[in-house]
Chains A and B, each alone.
Chain A
Amino acid sequence: MAEATLPHDMPAAYEPSLFGTYSKKIGMWLFLLSDSLTFGALLYSYSYGRISTPNWPTPFHSESIVNATVMTAFLLTSSLTMVMAVRAAVHGNAKAQRLWLLATMACGMAFVILHGREWSKLIAEGLTLPVFPKLPGHEAVGEFANVAQTVPQFPATFFGLTAMHMLHVTLGVIYLGVVALRRNFIPILLVFWLAAWLGTPSYSPFHYGAHVLLVAAIVCSIILWLKPKVYDSSDVEVAGLYWHFVDLVWMFIFPLVYLMSARIL
């Protein structure tokens, strides 16, 4: 009990912190615990399908494995840059903090772009979902054209799980952008939205998915307008918890989804 009680030099009017840390951090941990249920359920559904379906497809060739390994390296490196940002924040070095946060965002964006490339490649090979726009001229010729009909669990669980993770990484990049650049990040986010929307063909799911950025820009504008503040080291640390969680989840998705469904010839 003694280790949890605070300080002794604190005013007696306050109740000591039960968990020895500030409320924001405990709140983020509670959110992460609840979020782990979401990912747990998605991982379970993928694993269950993998075990119970005899003709489970193995669409990941050597090229996909290399791509996913590079994505993993980017995510692990982003975690390193994130702890460096927290370290800079607690030392009061605002410039280094901002630079490390921008480096983390760059790694996160590289991850999303590589993941998008992987998705596009699989969709071009015929692996798709009914909700995705039809790809002109590729329906019948792709390597996995029949998979969506014969094993619909695979595209459903694969796209569901990886889309949820990609959404988390995207929101993480936006979160870090707001912490690092505050209001200055909103126009940048709008430029990203326009680039993603106009830069992707209309038959790509990312053409519509890009609107997440627009919604995020509106929400961030409202938050920053209602509660403008300078983010301190505790905010950076809490943002870091979220970012590391996204990294942590990928440590299970990468082996379960990619390595266990690899086709190495």
Chain B
Amino acid sequence: MEAFQQAIAERVAAQHRHHGKSQFLWVWGALLAMTAIEVYLTYQNMQPVRMLTILMGLSLVKAALIIGYFMHMKYEVSRMKWLTMCSLARADDDFLPGRASHPFAGREMRFRVAILAACLLLWATPAFSQACSMCYSTAKATSKDGQRAISRGVIVLLVPPFGFMTLGIWMAFRYGRKRDREQTDHVNLEL
């Protein structure tokens, strides 16, 4: 490991040294207790939807405890927390069982689009580190017109990728609408 990485690892290790055993034992006990509650509920023959809601709620709390304490996420810097957790939420948002029956309901769809947009914005965070000092100083050294030309150039360069992306999304939506319409017609004909 190179010296700098070694230094960071040392700093992270120093953070770990402050954690007592009791904290981990407490989390472990809580996880076992929640598992016991889940098993107890299974023996109560509850209504499936209610049971599923409670089980998923408990599973999310257990997941939060594992990620927060065992995986040390609680002690990471806020940027790391946001990026990983938003990505995880976005990645598994589609797969939650409650969504299976109506995957593209209106309000939920808007919510999911909002999460996707937030994640895309967060993924761009590393770009902030790309402020190449040489490029910046060269651009700063040019005249006002030159700086304006660079700004316009950046916008012009954005046009092709955004254009392709828009076209792709438009085609996907168009195809989806057509497919939904065909399926609806098919169902109506059967009825």
Contact = CB atoms under 8 A, between A and B. Distances in A.
Interface of A: 3-4, 6-7, 10-11, 14-15, 17-26, 29, 33, 36-37, 40-41, 43-44, 47-48, 50-52, 65, 69, 72-73, 76-77, 79-80, 82-84, 86-87, 89-91, 232-234, 237, 240-241, 244-245, 247-248, 251-252, 254-256, 259-260, 262, 264
B79 A4 contact: yes
A254 B31 CA distance: 13
Contacts of A247: 66, 70
Interface of B: 1, 3-5, 7-9, 11-14, 16-17, 19, 21, 24-25, 28, 31-32, 35, 38-39, 41-43, 45, 48, 51-52, 55-56, 58-59, 62-63, 66-67, 69-72, 76-80, 83-84, 87-88, 91-92, 94-97, 100-101, 125-126, 128-129
A31 to B, nearest CB: 12
Contacts of A264: 42-43, 45
Contacts of A26: 80
A91 B17 contact: yes
Contact of B24 (A11, A44, A80, A89): A80
A65 B38 CA distance: 11
A79 B28 contact: yes
A259 B38 contact: yes
Contact of A244 (B14, B70, B80): B70
Contacts, number: 173
Q: Which of the listed residues A3, A52, A77, A255 has the most CB atoms from chain B within 10 Å of its own CB?
A: A255
A76 B35 contact: yes
Contact of B55 (A76, A83, A256): A256
A19 B80 contact: yes
Nearest to A28: B71
A13 B128 CA distance: 18
B66 A79 contact: yes
A87 B16 contact: yes
Nearest to A242: B71
Contacts of B51: 259-260
A40 B129 contact: no
Given A248-B66, A252-B59, A260-B48, A20 B80 contact: yes
